[in-house]
Amino acid sequence: MDLEVLTSKVQKKFLESVLGASSFRGENTLILRVEDILPICRFLHDDPELSYDYLTDLCGVDFYPSEPRFEVIYHLCAMKTRSRLRLKTSLPGTAPHLTSVVSVWKGADWMEREVFDMFGIKFDGHPDLRRILLTPDWEGYPLRKDYPLRG
């Protein structure tokens, strides 16, 4: 789907939610407000014309020492049209959290847990937010840029 059509369709329903949009090599990116991530994801999934029914990846990025420090990126695919879309949202360095999208894509469960485990970003409403790669008693978040190199 064309980026302009996609952006206007999202902006029509969510007036001030889209902070930016870009396209590179046929892959579209929308930059969204953090508080609107769940309703927009639900809209992108449920809209019959868009139908982004597959969450291929969800990851975190640390831009330390810049602020906003964190970014969470969602990679979506519409299987019917083979259309791809990337969603990005920024989070502050202190107490980063956003709403879970497990209610939209069940596959987000372990992806959100991995981002929580490695970056310390909390996903509100997640059904089982606990460490998935490290032991429960592990201190700190290894993919943060201020994490000590020797652990």
- Reduced 3-state DSSP string for 11-41: HHHCCCCEEEEEEECCEEEEEECHHHHHHHH
User: Is 130 a residue whose pLDDT tops 70?
Assistant: yes
CB 64 within 8 A of CB 94: no
Instruction: Please say whether the structural domain 3-124 has been given the CATH code 3.30.460.80.
Output: yes
| pLDDT at residue 34 in the model | 97
- Residue 1 pLDDT > 80: no
Q: What is the pLDDT of residue 3?
A: 87
pTM check: above 0.75: yes
Strands 83-91 and 27-32: parallel
Long-range contacts of 109-117 (CB under 8 A, 24+ apart): 111/55, 111/57, 111/58, 111/59, 112/58, 115/58, 115/59, 115/60, 115/72, 117/141
